[in-house]
């Protein structure tokens, strides 16, 4: 499937799911943006499982060239096997509830970290310097010290029953391989030269999950995501798989999320100082002073009358 068709399919699927949720469950969101006790934003924490799955995990390979004389030379013939790694995934982010949701009822900005590694091995026959095929192997490997992913996500939830909900997600993420190393060991002159994989990539992310509201402003979610379309660099086959030398790998994640809405500051119920509320004070300092002045005046008048 080409890039344009793949992109169209991703957007159509996401909008169809979100539109269906909006039309059928417009009033059933478990997220209240008008709570008198909670703000409509807060922190989210994540721990989960990250996998870089080889797709396909094996593929036959034959590399032939034609001499000027018309003779066909086989440089190698055999089978590639690919294997990706599995790793822990940790993250932190900030999220908010949309006050008047049309389609999406929440937004997220998250930074997550994991570790990517992959290996591709060729087993078969490789031509030697005399163009004679002999058993040989070639090993491609790639790994990073840390892989970070900065993602902006939009999500929509609807309640299955009270406090339990299903959700769909559309996001865009930037992945960065830190401390990455790429190597090729073996008779590489008999293979097609491959450029080192890119350390940066941008991809559209699709996801779905289940969640529960544990108490007011606290949500626990189990969420699965995968890269639906790689935007930069464009995937050769127009999908979300990562290309590493001869292998193609599909990143996906299963994450446990803990979302916390921030509390609003408590209302100050203490009364303001008496000078700011003179009408509420019956015997304030100023009133006492005025009363004393009145009493002095009355005494003076009484003395004058006596004389």
Task: Give the tens place of pLDDT for each residue, 252-269.
Answer: 999 999 999 998 887 655
Q: Please check whether residue 94 is in contact with residue 122, taking contact to mean a CB–CB distance below 8 angstroms.
A: no
Q: Are 107 and 147 members of one domain?
A: yes
Residues 248 and 129 in one domain: yes
Q: Calculate mean pLDDT across residues 183-196.
A: 87
Same domain, 46 and 157: yes
Side-by-side strand order, sheet with 133-143 = 58-66, 72-84, 117-127, 133-143, 181-185
Q: Are residues 138 and 223 in the same domain?
A: yes
- pLDDT tens digits for range 113-150: 999 999 999 999 999 888 889 999 999 999 999 999 99
Is residue 268 included in any domain, yes or no? no
Residue 196 predicted with pLDDT over 90 = no
pLDDT at position 244 over 60: yes
| Euclidean distance between CA atoms 135 and 147, whole angstroms | 36
Q: What is the largest CA-CA distance in the chain?
A: 147
Share of the chain above pLDDT 70, in %: 80
157 and 238 belong to one structural domain? yes
Q: What is the pLDDT of residue 306?
A: 62
The reply to whether 212 and 294 lie within a common domain is: no
Query: CA torsion sign, 274 to 280 to 283 to 287?
Result: positive
Helix (H, G, I), strand (E, B) or coil at 6: helix
**Interval 10-67: pLDDT, tens:** 555 555 555 555 554 445 567 766 677 888 899 999 999 999 999 999 999 999 888 7
- Please tell me whether the overall predicted TM-score, pTM, comes out greater than 0.85 for this model: no
- Is 31 within the bounds of a domain? yes
Domain of residue 292 covers 274-306
Residues of the chain with pLDDT > 90, as a percent, come to 49
Helix (H) or strand (E) holding 303: helix 285-306
Spatial separation of the C-alpha atoms in residues 170 and 18, rounded to whole Å: 9
Q: Do 171 and 284 belong together in one domain?
A: no
Are residue 141 and residue 201 in the same domain, yes or no? yes
Count of domains for the chain: 2
> Which pLDDT does position 284 carry in this prediction?
59
What pLDDT sits at residue 198?
A: 87
Over residues 288-295, the mean pLDDT reads 76
Residue 139: closest CA among 117, 120, 118: 120
Section 100-112 average pLDDT: 91
Q: What was the pLDDT predicted at 203? A: 94
- Segment 215-223 mean pLDDT: 92
Signed CA dihedral, 6, 10, 12, 17: sign only = positive
Position 269 in a domain: no
Cα separation, 156 vs 222, whole angstroms: 14
Task: Kindly tell me the burial class for residue 74, based on how many C-beta atoms sit within 10 Å of its own C-beta (0-12, 13-18, 19 or more).
Answer: middle
Same domain, 203 and 285: no
Residue 2 clears pLDDT 80, i.e. is over it: no
Question: Does pLDDT of 82 surpass 80?
Answer: yes
In the prediction, which pLDDT does 270 show?
Answer: 56
Please check whether residue 194 lies inside any domain of the structure: yes
Domain contains 167: yes
Do 290 and 150 share a domain, yes or no?
Answer: no
- 28 in any annotated domain: yes
pLDDT at position 8 is: 53
Quickly state the pLDDT bin for 245 (edges 50, 70, 90): confident
**Separation in Å, CA 141 to CA 84, 222, 255:** 10, 32, 27
How far is residue 291 from each of residues 114, 234, 283, 305, measured CA to CA in Å? Answer: 77, 86, 10, 21
* 78 bridge partner residues: 61, 124
Q: Are residues 68 and 137 in the same domain?
A: yes
Residues forming beta bridges with residue 251, ordered by sequence position? 52
Q: For the purposes of burial, counting CB atoms within 10 Å of the CB of 57, is it exposed (0-12), middle (13-18) or buried (19 or more)?
A: middle
Position 156 scores a pLDDT of 92
String of b and e for 136-145 (b: at least 16 CB within 10 Å)? bebebbbbbe
Distances (CA, A) of 75 to 27, 132, 263: 65, 9, 67
Arithmetic mean of pLDDT, 147-171: 93
For residue 263, the model assigns a pLDDT of: 87
Question: 216 and 288 share a domain?
Answer: no
Pairwise CA distance, residues 176 & 89, whole Å:
14
**Is there a domain that residue 184 lies in?**
yes
- In a domain? residue 106: yes
């Amino acid at each position: 499937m080409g890039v344009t068709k793949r992109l169209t399919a991703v957007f159509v699927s996401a909008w169809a799911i979100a539109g269906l949720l909006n039309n059928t469950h417009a009033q059933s969101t478990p997220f209240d943006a008008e709570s008198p006790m909670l703000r409509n934003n807060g922190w989210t924490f994540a721990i989960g499982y990250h996998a870089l799955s080889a797709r396909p995990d094996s593929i036959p390979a034959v590399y032939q060239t034609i001499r000027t004389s018309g003779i066909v030379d086989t440089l190698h013939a055999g089978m590639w096997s690919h294997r990706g790694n599995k790793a822990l995934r940790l993250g932190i982010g900030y999220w908010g509830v949309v006050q008047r949701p049309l389609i999406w009822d929440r937004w997220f900005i998250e930074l997550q970290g994991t570790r990517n590694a992959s290996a591709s091995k060729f087993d078969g026959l490789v031509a030697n310097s005399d163009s004679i095929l002999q058993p040989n192997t070639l090993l491609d490997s790639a790994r990073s010290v840390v892989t970070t992913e900065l993602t902006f996500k939009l999500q929509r939830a609807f309640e299955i029953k009270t406090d339990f909900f299903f959700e769909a997600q559309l996001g865009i993420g930037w992945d960065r391989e830190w401390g990455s190393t790429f190597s090729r060991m073996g008779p590489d002159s008999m293979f097609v030269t491959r450029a080192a994989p890119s350390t940066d990539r941008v991809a559209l992310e699709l996801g779905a999950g289940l969640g529960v509201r544990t108490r007011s402003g606290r949500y626990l979610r189990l969420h699965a995501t995968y890269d639906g379309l790689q935007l930069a660099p464009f995937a050769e086959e127009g999908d979300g798989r990562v290309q590493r030398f001869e292998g193609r790998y599909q990143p996906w994640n299963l994450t446990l999320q803990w979302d916390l809405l921030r509390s609003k500051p408590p209302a100050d119920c203490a009364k303001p100082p008496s000078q700011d509320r003179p009408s509420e004070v019956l015997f304030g300092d100023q009133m006492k002073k005025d009363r004393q002045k009145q009493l002095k005046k009355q005494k003076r008048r009484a003395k004058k009358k006596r004389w």
